[in-house]
Copies of this chain bind each other. A is one copy, B any other.
Amino acid sequence: MSTSTATTTLPIAKAITAGLRDAMTADDKVLLMGEDIGPLGGVFRVTDGLHAEFGSQRVVDTPLAEAGIVGTAVGLAVRGYRPVVEIQFDGFVFPAFNQITTQVAKMHNRTSGRVNMPLVIRIPHGGGIGAVEHHSESPETYFAHTAGLRILAPATSHDAYWMTRQAIESEDPVIMLEPKRRYWVKGDVDMDHRPELSPWQAAVVRPGTDATVLAWGPSMPLVLESAEAAAAEGIDLEVIDARSLAPVDYPTIADSVRRTGRLLIVHEASVLGGLGGEIAARISEQCFYHLEAPVLRVGGYHLPYPPARMEHAFLPDLDRVLDGVDRLLEH
């Protein structure tokens, strides 16, 4: 039984569940692996009900070892399966880093294209949930620099559903960064119509003229809210949801910046060495004669993610985004 019905309202977490369910129904090579994803349904309940529905051969509670999870998924992919791996929290992806970097990312290339790696690594990502250490990380930079990987970062329920499907359908490995603090935010999903927009494209989610603000995943509601606040002050911001972080859709961003002349990038990861730096560098190059101000960034500081009672100061918030907009417009 597929959950596909016409447009429906679902929280992001449940949209992913639906995406997983429909992908598993459509292709019996799709299987899920991870810690506590079986009877418990995952600590975020994203796989809730799937174990009961598909059984323990397709929804696999693994031993507690991330390298083993990703590494066995590689073997399953070679054998023709399409494993979808859940990493319980962003901070626990690092034990699997060797497998992701030297194996998942390189296997297709190593075999001169003879073996595909249709493997999805789902990571609940980002902070703002008041968690203990290692539960609020934004590791996208590490993966974006690693050739061979793709990264999707849905920000809405609709994208969450379709990106789950499209990540699973991709013949390349995809890291799915799920906006954990928005898991329970509801939104419309149309499961019946494949989106026209490719998952690898950015979306202008709010047109504007004074400056472009780029963000993704968990930061999207914040930048949209900031744009509303700025509008109240007479500043008209264009807001772009990057959607795909590897590859980043530079044409869409550059096109916007050529129009607005200004770009602010917002992400939770530390600004220093973060993905925003690469985007700033490329846009500064591609739009050199259009930029009326340097590309600015608002994000985390160059610190280990702080204890929960300080995270509000570490994370971009409305005031910091607006402060960034102000600095941008001062030029």
Contact = CB atoms under 8 A, between A and B. Distances in A.
A282 B281 CA distance: 9
Interface stretch (A36-44, A98-106, A188-196, A231-239): A98-106
Nearest to A301: B147
Nearest to A297: B281
A304 B117 CA distance: 15
A273 B148 contact: no
Interface string A250-280: 0000000000000000000110111111101
- Number of chain copies forming the complex: 2
Contacts of A109: 303-304
Contact of A98 (B97, B294, B302): B97
A76 interface: no
Contact of A304 (B94, B147, B281): B147
Interface stretch (A27-35, A138-146, A197-205, A222-230): A138-146
A148 B85 CA distance: 29
A216 to B, nearest CB: 15
Interface string A284-310: 110010000111110001111000000
Given A98-B95, A106-B304, A141 B273 contact: yes
Given A105-B304, A142-B142, A304-B105, A284 B273 contact: no
Contact of A284 (B146, B148, B281): B281
Contacts of A79: none
Interface string A80-117: 00000000000100110110011001100110000000
Most buried by B among A94, A275, A296: A94
A273 B144 contact: yes
A133 interface: yes
A149 to B, nearest CB: 10
A270 B105 CA distance: 14
A70 to B, nearest CB: 12
Contact of A277 (B94, B97, B269, B281): B281
A251 to B, nearest CB: 15
A99 to B, nearest CB: 8
A281 B275 contact: no
A311 to B, nearest CB: 14
Interface of A: 91, 94-95, 97-98, 101-102, 105-106, 109-110, 133-134, 141-142, 144-148, 269-270, 272-278, 280-282, 284-285, 288, 293-297, 301-304, 331
17 contacts: A94-B101, A94-B102, A95-B98, A97-B98, A97-B101, A105-B304, A109-B304, A144-B273, A145-B274, A147-B304, A273-B275, A274-B278, A277-B280, A277-B282, A281-B295, A284-B284, A288-B294
